[in-house]
Amino acid sequence: MTSDDIYRTTDNGEPFRFNENVARVFPDMLKRSIPGYAASIEAIGSLAGRYIQARSNCYDLGCSLGAATLAMRQGTQQAGCRIIAVDTSAAMVARCKDVIAADEPHSDDAATVDVVQQDIRETEIDSASMVVLNYTLQFLPEADRDDVMRKICAGMKPGGLLVLSEKVVDENAAMEKLLVDLHYEHKRRNHYSALEISRKRAALENVLIPETVARHRTRLSEAGFSHTAVWLRYFNFVSIIAIK
Ligand code: GEK
């Protein structure tokens, strides 16, 4: 795994972008930066086994290198499924295609995968039994999030499952400060220097816009999901499941 050294030596002061440099070190970056990331991928595999319906579509929105796509493909035994993996970043899509091509499907019935370079705001959702946004919604302008979630829910089958993982902000300022500090310490333990952490924080300002858990759950209900639950929380990193 190539080590994430993006903010170690230089900083051009520009906002964070999902370019080739980021795609190259991405697995290491996620592993060291998002507490609970591996658990989210593992759970997506388990949930795929329970919720993916035969002859349905599944979506990995903001797929990056396709970790959730592979977990869904490996997690389901249902026949005739198609997984649509979507990302706006050309660098991510190119690498994702290589990752998927290198994966050995477990059977002749394994889901087919299409990797598409597209903005998820433009993606048509159709006959979906499982939709994953694993740390993606946070990068959309807040004003667009309600419409995207309504569109997703409208394109899902009854009983379909959504996984929404997000960095969140706490309602309480003191708690928020504590959780941010704990995340900082976590990154220090994972060998990021104080300078790297502060450069990355500045680059993500106005790029990653977190909301509260309550705001996410309200949006999901308003979009048409009947049940929602937080199944994972590690500091300010949360994963929510919602059932249509
Ligand atoms: C994983 N889900 O490994 N349309 C499509 N893609 C987008 C958009 C958009 N509007 N905005 C951002 N992205 C993955 C990890 S990373 C999380 C997801 C992170 C893409 C962006 O290009 C990037 O690949 C991904 O969303 C977010 O489970 O880096 O914190």
For residue 197, pLDDT over 90 is answered with no
Which residue among 17, 32, 88, 137 is best mutated to probe the pocket of ligand 1, counting the most ligand atoms within 8 A of its Cβ?
88
Q: Region 42-69: what's the mean pLDDT?
A: 98
pLDDT per residue as tens digits for the range 224-242: 999 999 999 999 999 999 9
Segment 194-212 shows an average pLDDT of 88
Q: Rounded distance, CA 1 to CA 142, Å?
A: 33
Confidence class for position 218, pLDDT limits 50, 70, 90:
very high
Residues 6 or more apart whose Cβ sits within 8 Å of residue 68: 41, 44, 60, 132, 134, 163
Tens of pLDDT, residues 115-167:
999 999 999 999 999 999 999 999 999 999 999 999 999 999 999 999 999 99
State which of 32, 122, 136, 162 you would mutate to test the pocket of ligand 1, scoring each by most atoms of that ligand within 8 A of its C-beta: 136
Residue 118: Cβ within 10 Å count:
15
Taking the C-alpha atoms of residue 125 and residue 110, their distance in angstroms, rounded to an integer, is 21
Cβ atoms of 62 and 120 within 8 Å: the answer is: yes
Please give the pLDDT value at position 127: 98
Contact 231, 240 (CB under 8 A): yes
Q: How many A from CA of 86 to the centre of ligand 1?
A: 9
Whether 139 is in the pocket of ligand 1, judged by its Cβ within 6 Å, is yes
203 pLDDT tier (thresholds 50, 70, 90): confident
Q: Is the pLDDT of residue 26 over 90?
A: no
Does 164 sit in the ligand 1 pocket, CB within 6 Å? no
Position 10 scores a pLDDT of 67
Helix (H, G, I), strand (E, B) or coil at 128: strand
Q: What's the mean pLDDT when you consider all of the chain?
A: 94
Residue-wise pLDDT tens digits, 50-63: 999 999 999 999 99
